[in-house]
Copies of this chain bind each other. A is one copy, B any other.
Amino acid sequence: MATPIHQRLREDVLASVFAPDEPLTEAKLTERYGASRTPVREALQRLEQDGLVERRGKAVVVRTHSAEEIIDIYESRIILEQAAAAKAAVKATALDRQLLMGLLTQMQQLDPGDGRALAETNRAFHAQLWRATHSPSLIGLLERLDQQVRRYTLTTLTYPGRWPVVLADYVDLLAAIGDGDSARAGEIAARHMSDALNIRLKMYAEDPRTL
């Protein structure tokens, strides 16, 4: 079975294949993905519900976010990541903790200049942390929020001096989770996300085009 079209379209949108104001016409997408309009329309509808594209008049375009919207999403995410870390401290299994340790070790060996690799393993780490909550609803909410700002997240990790702090935060976080210290795990996660927001704001102040 080939990869479903909505998934391919999703990847392309997240990889910024389409320009911000470029109309995602059904004709263009049927050609690109070699399918008829029906599955293409379904894919567009799905991504619209996920908040990745939006209807602008008749056309569908990649959804962009204002600085205010991004801040808003970050603020919600701080809350959810705090809750997730706190819950993971209580619910994580030995396997969850091992997987997290493995990912952390992997991250410590990465080239801090390779933004793509940083972003990728960082996301894997977060995803595993979410799974460690064993809470389907939390996982769903976090995935939803993450997807909406994924296109923008590469940058904070490569901000000067950020990466070592990220790694140190994760070490502390795993220690707290290992101790089953829910409150501390939550605090670390909240501060971590809050730092990420502050860096984004600083970057925005330095150059508004970075979003």
Contact = CB atoms under 8 A, between A and B. Distances in A.
B145 A72 contact: no
Nearest to A50: B49
A136 B79 contact: no
Interface in A77-92: 79-80, 83
- The oligomer's copy count stands at 2
Which of A46, A76, A79, A137 has the largest number of chain B CB atoms within 10 A? Answer: A137
Interface residues of A, number: 25
A8 interface: no
B76 A79 contact: no
A125 B75 CA distance: 23
A144 B49 CA distance: 11
A69 B136 contact: yes
Interface string A38-52: 100110011001110
A72 B72 CA distance: 25
Contacts of A69: 136-137
A145 B76 CA distance: 14
Q: Is the interface of A mostly helix, strand, loop or mixed?
A: helix
A141 interface: yes
Given A42-B45, A46-B45, A46-B49, A145 B135 contact: no
A38 B83 CA distance: 40
Contact of A79 (B83, B140, B144, B148): B83
A141 B144 contact: yes
Which of A41, A50, A79 has the largest number of chain B CB atoms within 10 A? Answer: A79
A135 B46 contact: no
Given A141-B144, A145-B141, A75 B45 contact: no
